[in-house]
Amino acid sequence: MGRMGSSSESNKQRDVVRTGSDISKTFKSTACIGVCVTFTSTYTLVKGFESWFWGRNYCSEKYTSLMTVDSSSLNDKLKGAWSHSGKVWIGLRAGLVSWTWPDGEEASYFNWGPVVSDSPYEDLCAVISDSGAWTNLNCSLLRPSVCSNGSHFTLESEMSWTEARANCEDKNLTLVHIPDNFTNDDVRSLLPSRAEAWIGLSRSLIWFWSDTGGRATFLNWEPGQPDNLSGNELCAALLLGNGTWSDEPCEEPYYFICQGRMQKKPLSRRS
């Protein structure tokens, strides 16, 4: 099994998607050494001017959380992402001894600009400006917020479908769930030329996803599939090239794709 590496990295930014009054941007980064890992993260600007607390609750309900910015590469991608919005809330808040993210994680990466308050009497939260620099403001001030959600995919070497599912689960991941064309394109882009890969779809009386156990509603079969050709084609393989799917014998070894999701974590109690 190959390891994730970072010898090559490509990033591209998807078109802006508008959801109601919120504005989303998706950033995709892929790292490959033999095996590729793709991280797809969507950040949503909530344009309304509200307190950090409001933003935390709104992002937690509607997305995953107020955004965590834990690396310079991620911070760099945000430069210019929200032009005309000024400074926007990210998830960072001052605790008694350290700065923490909404999941309670202590921050280790910072990108403070030159103007930072060190008032011990204020409840301070962080905003990011269009230049990527951070500053801190009273958490009750009214600013737009940036929410995040996302998932990542890993391409793994050949195994049977059952082994593939177990292998993903051993890593706290799931065999990939493809709910729409958007995700299908992301997953297909991971495959080496002419390769095919197992996805998390299998069949009992219906086709269902192994992560949720739910019936598949988006299906992307190749014409003529599924055909259960030899009576034992109970699983689905993702085909390269056109991105369509075919049922295949479960014991055949194929590449497979695991998926991890950013978890919604309980909010910390301090507010």
Torsion, CA 51, CA 57, CA 58, CA 63, rounded to 10: 130
From the list 247, 254, 256, 258, which residue makes contact with Ca ion (rule: CB under 5 A)? 247
How does DSSP classify residue 189?
Answer: T
Pairing mode, if any, of strands 254-261 and 197-203? parallel
From the list 246, 256, 258, 259, which residue makes contact with Ca ion (rule: CB under 5 A)? 246
Give the Cα separation of 69 and 172 in Å (integer): 23
**Which of residues 203 and 264 has its CB atom nearest to Ca ion in the complex?**
203
Bond preceding residue 253 cis, omega within 30 of 0: no
Number of residues that bind Ca ion (CB under 5 A): 5
**Which of residues 53 and 221 has its CB atom nearest to Ca ion in the complex?**
221
Write out the binding residues for Ca ion, residues 102-121 only, by CB under 5 A.
none
Give the Cα separation of 165 and 247 in Å (integer): 16
Question: Which letter, b or e, does each residue of 188-212 get, where b requires 16 or more Cβ atoms within 10 Å of its Cβ?
Answer: bebbeeebbbbbbbbbeeebbbbbe
From the list 227, 241, 253, 266, which residue makes contact with Ca ion (rule: CB under 5 A)? 227
Residue 161, phi-psi category: left (phi > 0), alpha (psi -120 to 50), beta (remainder) = alpha
Candidate segments 10-18, 130-138, 211-219, 240-248, binder of Ca ion by CB under 5 A: 240-248
Candidate segments 42-50, 102-110, 179-187, 243-251, binder of Ca ion by CB under 5 A: 243-251
**Which of residues 16 and 229 has its CB atom nearest to Ca ion in the complex?**
229
Pair of tokens at residue 250: 């479960």
Candidate segments 144-152, 158-166, 238-246, 258-266, binder of Ca ion by CB under 5 A: 238-246
**Which of residues 30 and 202 has its CB atom nearest to Ca ion in the complex?**
202
CB of 214 to Ca ion, least distance (A): 23
**Which of residues 141 and 234 has its CB atom nearest to Ca ion in the complex?**
234
Residues that bind Ca ion (CB under 5 A): 227, 229, 233, 246-247
